[in-house]
Structure formats: structure tokens, C-alpha cells
Amino acid sequence: MYTVDLLKKAAFRHTRFGKPQYPFNIEPIQLATLIFEIERLRDVEGAIVEIGVARGMTSRFLCEHIVKSGHRDQRLVAIDTFNSFVPEHVEYEMKKRSETRRDLGSMFSYNDYEVWKRNFREFSFVSVFQSDCAKFDYSKIAPIKLTFLDVDLYLPTQEALPKIYENTCDGGAILVDDVQGDFGARQAYLEFCSSLGKEPVVIGTKCGVIRK
């Protein structure tokens, strides 16, 4: 134990290993809002859905909350291609939206469906689907009470939002990440809000909210 303490002291004082890290790609207010919505909807029947899970940092955060709050009866559904962006979605960004990031097609290609499932097998309330969110049949997991949609691009956001909304229970909420700057998700979010006759609501700097 003494040796471990010495190593910790050396690492903290003389290297960068002891520097605190923020491991999430979303803002603290988004994490707080997700927890608030889970608690607000705790007694409402329906799934909590995360779309675009990457390696699962936010998913694990939500799992920890569900376990620590003693409500393992919640359903957490994860949906991802587990193989980066869909080529046709990337092509649309390049041709129609003048996207210049040539690496879009290889982003998140490190992910793996079987590995992701294995990493979450201790959480029996988690269900995982490998799918393009634009084509997924949301009626299979309905009713939905809370969705966190984080797929960046226009087409998957534009095609998924009406399907998610249709299967969301009254009082439910949809959070859409990356609705700032020139992200395609921003355009799709604003268009969908307009189609519903709802004013866009943004928390933090990049998260759009839709309530049903």
C-alpha cells in the first residue's frame, strides 16, 4: 500500500497521468438533463433510448444512475450501426451540404457490436440493436419516453425524428445533440420543430429538446 501511495504521489505531482479528465463528448448540462428526465419519467411506462452510442460512455453513465437509484425496472435501449456512418448519409453531407470532413466515413469505425454487448452484459435492463437509425422500426421498442439522438448528420436525424416522435408517449422528451454550427443535425432539428409548430429549445450550446 505504501508503494502504491508513492506511485500515486509521483504520478500526480510529476506527470500528466494525475490530471483530471472529462470523459464525455457531451456537455454537463446534457448529462444533468438526461438524469432529470429519467427521474421525471421514472413511473411512466416506456423505454429510454440512446441512438449513436459510440463506445458507450454516456450509456454507462445512465446505467450507473439507474442502478444507484434502485430502479433496474427501467429499459435502456442502445441503437447504433457499430460501423461508423452510413455511406449514403456521408455522401449527402458531401454533395448537398458541402461537408468537407473527408474522414466522416471512417469515424467510429473502431466500434464493434459484440464487444459493446459484452461490455454491458452486467446490465440486464440494456437492449442493444445494430441498425441504421433512419431505418429502425421504433414500434418494436414503443412506447418510448426519453430519447437521446446523437448521430450528427442531416439524413439520419431527419428520417429518425418523426419515427421516434410517433412512438414517444405523451409527456416524453427527445434530446438531439449537435444542433449548433453547420452540423446536419441542426438543420434536421430545426426543420422538424417547424413541422410540429414548436419553437426550438436549446440547452447548453448544442442540445435541442423536443417535448411531446
* 13 assigned to some structural domain: no
Model pTM?
0.89
**426543420: which residue's cell?**
191
* 193 assigned to some structural domain: yes
Rounded CA separation 47/128 (Å):
12
- With a cut of 90, say whether residue 195 has pLDDT above it: yes
* 17 assigned to some structural domain: no
Four-point Cα dihedral 192, 197, 202, 208, nearest 10: -30
* 147 assigned to some structural domain: yes
The CATH number for 81's domain is 3.40.50.150
* 5 assigned to some structural domain: no
Chain segment 135-165, per-residue pLDDT in tens:
999 999 999 999 999 998 999 999 999 999 9
Parent domain of 88? 26-211
* 191 assigned to some structural domain: yes
* 180 assigned to some structural domain: yes
- With a cut of 70, say whether residue 192 has pLDDT above it: yes
Domain count, the chain: 1
**Whole-number pLDDT of residue 39:** 97
Neighbours of 168 (CB within 10 A): 24
Rounded CA separation 41/48 (Å):
10
Chain segment 104-142, per-residue pLDDT in tens:
555 566 779 999 999 999 999 999 999 999 999 999 999
Rounded CA separation 91/154 (Å):
11
- Beta strands per DSSP E along 56-193: 75-80, 126-130, 144-149, 168-177
* 1 assigned to some structural domain: no
Chain segment 57-109, per-residue pLDDT in tens:
999 999 999 999 999 999 999 999 998 777 787 776 676 666 656 555 555 66
Q: For residues 193 and 166, is the Cβ–Cβ distance under 8 A?
A: no
Q: For residues 75 and 48, is the Cβ–Cβ distance under 8 A?
A: yes
Rounded CA separation 12/21 (Å):
13
